[in-house]
Chains A and B, each alone.
Chain A
Amino acid sequence: MDEFLQRALLGGFGVALATGPLGAFIVWRRMAYFGDTLAHSGLLGVVLGAVLHINPQLGVVATCLLVALALVLLQRQRRLATDTLLGILAHATLSLGLVALAFMETVRVDLVSYLFGDILAINAADLYWIWGGGGLALAALAWLWRPLLAITVHEELAQVEGVAVFPVRLAFMLLIAMVIAVAMKVVGILLITSLLIIPAAAARRFAHSPEGMAALAGLLGCAAVGLGLWASLRWDTPAGPSVVVAATALFALGSVVPGRARRY
């Protein structure tokens, strides 16, 4: 196997193993739109990284966190619904990123690879980022698991039972920001949400516990990466979108095959 293909597979698997379980929480908490908005602001983070001469991934994490905090504050006023706020922020931050990029004549950024990912160009340094950052995110998720699940089921009940709701929510946002930064190289900021949502949605029918659904989402994500890369080489299609199409195909397949009977 070509070395670039090995790296692409390794990187894709690393991303899918992190986005699967995190995506399960995004599905349970109905935060798909929220994740999408953070991802859109990622481009602004790349610009920030270039301006401050820091690693673009760090710039993305910082920007996503700022946008998440802005959202939390904006949600306090109740004049605009959350989906409206998300719609505004998603496209405002993406456009700001594009405009800022145009001003920076000295910095050359491969726009298309940031928007749609460039999994076949993953290098060794990227792999460290993916497996380091993804592993850290997964470890943190495992540590947060119980309180996060409790506030997902019912926030007020969890708070009365002693869960520190606000810190847990903040930590979860940080995890989303980290995983977006890590996944950007693989599927690009416009398609990251699909790797979070689709494997988790596909796993729902076959899962009987939260942990089972999270694990299965990770595995299905890996399968989508493998299938997508194969199809991309076979038919010379763009790799990132092919992975998303493969994930969607798995989801569709999972919706029609007869599932195991649920225990009642």
Chain B
Amino acid sequence: MSVEPLLTVENVNLAIRGAPILQEVNLRVSSGEIVALIGPNGAGKSTLVRIVLSLIRADSGRIWLKPGIRVGYMPQRLTVSDTLPLSVQRFITLGAPATRARVQAALEEVGAPHVLDSPVQAISGGEMQRVLLARALLREPDLLVLDEPIQGVDLNGQYELYDLISGLRQRRGCGILMVSHELHLVMATTDQVLCLNRHVCCSGHPDHVARDPAYLELFGLDGAQRLAIYHHHHNHRHNLHGAVVEPAERGAHG
């Protein structure tokens, strides 16, 4: 896997009406790499994403995108006015022209094959997330920027979509910058985690970040424990099925 940087963010600062929103943020996404942005509501995650995409300008700092790369973007929210008659197929092809067959194939890939001809206002929230992902994928992006891609997706779907997203970097070699609140999934599948709360609290490999005091402070014992419960539960199931039990963390029984 080549590690060619696609995006670098250096010392970005932004204040809105005097209130600091982002302070001295650094970030790098390379091809074939998944970087997750986590942090509480109002931490500035979506704002950072907008700066990366040049939708808003930072007060200071440097944004560098590898010249000529294609970017696929999935915004945090998207609702289409009821006054506009628009099918899912038309909605998706607004991003990049594609044949009906290709749109259908993309929808199958994201697990929403049945919505092709539905009015875009009539599909469910989780289906909309999948449709947005399909639209981003059809652009064949070098860099995918996803703002909470699996919000509102059912539990099984979350795993499926995460597998799909992490499979993309292998199959297409694209870099992925993703905002997410699903700590257990983030910790399990990403290469790098950036913990944001108006500034970068901690960053690095998920295992490293999970032990960082700043992380524990940000997500509280509660968040950390939930993660532990998840691991614990996982170990236990393996145990019942008679599979090899990994050395348990936090002194859990084996």
A residues sitting closer than 8 Å to B (CB atoms) are: 27-28, 30, 146, 149-150, 152-154, 156-161, 201, 204, 207-210, 212-213, 262-264
Contact = CB atoms under 8 A, between A and B. Distances in A.
> On chain B, which size bracket covers the interface?
20 to 34
A23 to B, nearest CB: 11
Given A160-B71, A161-B73, A204 B55 contact: no
Contacts of A157: 73, 75, 78, 95
Given A157-B95, A160-B53, A160-B55, A210 B122 contact: no
B83 A28 contact: yes
B120 to A, nearest CB: 8
Contacts of B94: 146, 149-150, 153, 158
Contacts of B2: none
Contacts of A161: 73, 95-96, 139
Contacts of B249: none
Interface string B36-53: 000000000000001001
A212 B53 contact: no
Is chain A's interface secondary structure helix, strand, loop, or mixed overall? helix
Given A157-B78, A263-B117, 9 more contacts: A28-B84, A30-B81, A146-B94, A153-B86, A154-B80, A161-B73, A207-B85, A209-B87, A210-B85
Task: Rank and list the top 5 A-B pairs by shortest CB-CB distance, nearest first.
Answer: A160-B73, A28-B84, A207-B85, A150-B94, A27-B83
Interface string B73-100: 1010010110111110011001110000
Contact of B85 (A150, A158, A204, A264): A204
B59 to A, nearest CB: 17
Contacts of B122: 262, 264
Contacts of B90: 209-210
